[in-house]
Copies of this chain bind each other. A is one copy, B any other.
């Protein structure tokens, strides 16, 4: 076994039990006990490698190889350690583990980076607790104002400010962090693919071209609470019937407009077996390769008055950087799918361009999933993403998976990219 493989196994085994539920899914919400354990783990891994750990105003963690304040801004790689409810092991942690291993690979090669390198672990990427995805990177770049962030409340009514304080982070310092942003010259995030684009291309690793425009909307369906056992059908104002209609309309609109639209979260009040609900709240997630399709879905649902909770336009990553890293990654991973020249749509991932003329390169794909990389890119930081093949395409589920060999190919591709960017 290579040192990289054994280190991969060690770190993976250490992370495995943290926040794992009975169904094998993870519950690693921001500023919880599990989150604190993951933060300690990150600090210990950084210390093991002699990296200097800082925590920014938003609560994101950075482990520096070299000093960006004296040697100039550096190349940052990393992802997040938090999860959706009952999430998979790979979404987030694979990027952090691969970043740490890429540092090991570069050092084993005797690499002397021309500029600092950092491994980052972003806070609250999934937004599972407070409802806003990429909260850590959005606070960092100022996209999410501090007062709005701190006032967000979780299901039990605890605010992010209270949760941060309980997690040992001072909410009074929260806000856009220019000192940290100045240290970042380039950001590269490695992530497990969340579709089957790489499976269809028979490639272990790919590079991202863009993140689809995407948003979240809340839909409130009001009715009249009443006793289920005594209220005649004709006298009912039952919002559960409105929910049923909404779910069907969302699916039909998505099909009609060529978008992805999902009702994944529902809250029923009072949610009693023998009570006609007073209110049903449903949340809509909608994305598409272009913004017009998303807006068309929303227009189709105008009757129920969706309230926008978040919106992110299309994020097109730095095209030159993507092409360059595609070529560099290809040297290590020896992708058998040499030159996919056609536009390939798998519903979720879209291969938009082949490699450069310089030799075997990895595919370049679009994705429907949002990432911290998208937030940093929007803030003007040259940003790229590497994807690692997901054999089933399943994500945000205990069944999310990536083969160990593909993960190791991702580590080496990432190391090559970091070397390219720190020549």
Which A residues have a C-beta under 8 Å from some C-beta of B?
25, 84-87, 126-128, 131, 133, 194-195, 212, 214, 216, 224-235, 238, 240-241, 243-248, 251, 254-255, 260, 262-266, 268-278, 283, 285, 287, 346-349, 367-370, 393-399
Q: How far, in angstroms, from A230 to B287 measured CA to CA in the complex?
A: 9
Q: How far, in angstroms, from A229 to B225 measured CA to CA in the complex?
A: 34
Query: Which single member of B131, B241, B370 contacts A229 (CB below 8 Å)?
Result: B370
* Shortest Cβ distance from A128 into B: residue: B272
**How many copies of this chain does one complex carry?**
2
Say whether, besides A244-B248, A268-B265, A393-B235, A368 and B229 are in contact (CB < 8 Å). Answer: yes
Query: Which single member of B126, B266, B287, B347 contacts A234 (CB below 8 Å)?
Result: B347
Closest approach, in angstroms, between the C-beta of A291 and any C-beta of chain B? 15
Say whether, besides A225-B398, A227-B395, A216 and B273 are in contact (CB < 8 Å). Answer: yes
Query: Which single member of B230, B248, B262, B266 contacts A348 (CB below 8 Å)?
Result: B230
Inter-chain contacts of A194 with B (CB < 8 A): 227, 229-230
Are the C-beta atoms of B397 and A226 separated by less than 8 Å?
yes
Q: How far, in angstroms, from A410 to B273 measured CA to CA in the complex?
A: 29
Chain A to chain B contacts (Cβ below 8 Å), 27 pairs: A84-B274, A85-B270, A86-B225, A133-B274, A195-B230, A216-B273, A224-B394, A225-B396, A226-B395, A227-B348, A227-B394, A227-B396, A229-B260, A229-B368, A229-B370, A230-B395, A231-B260, A232-B346, A235-B393, A244-B245, A244-B247, A264-B273, A264-B275, A265-B272, A266-B266, A270-B396, A273-B283
Are the C-beta atoms of A240 and B263 separated by less than 8 Å?
yes
Q: How far, in angstroms, from A277 to B277 measured CA to CA in the complex?
A: 21
Are the C-beta atoms of B265 and A394 separated by less than 8 Å?
no
Inter-chain contacts of A229 with B (CB < 8 A): 194, 212, 214, 260, 285, 287, 348, 367-370
Closest approach, in angstroms, between the C-beta of A301 and any C-beta of chain B? 14
Closest approach, in angstroms, between the C-beta of A50 and any C-beta of chain B? 36
Query: Which single member of B25, B126, B232, B265 contacts A271 (CB below 8 Å)?
Result: B265
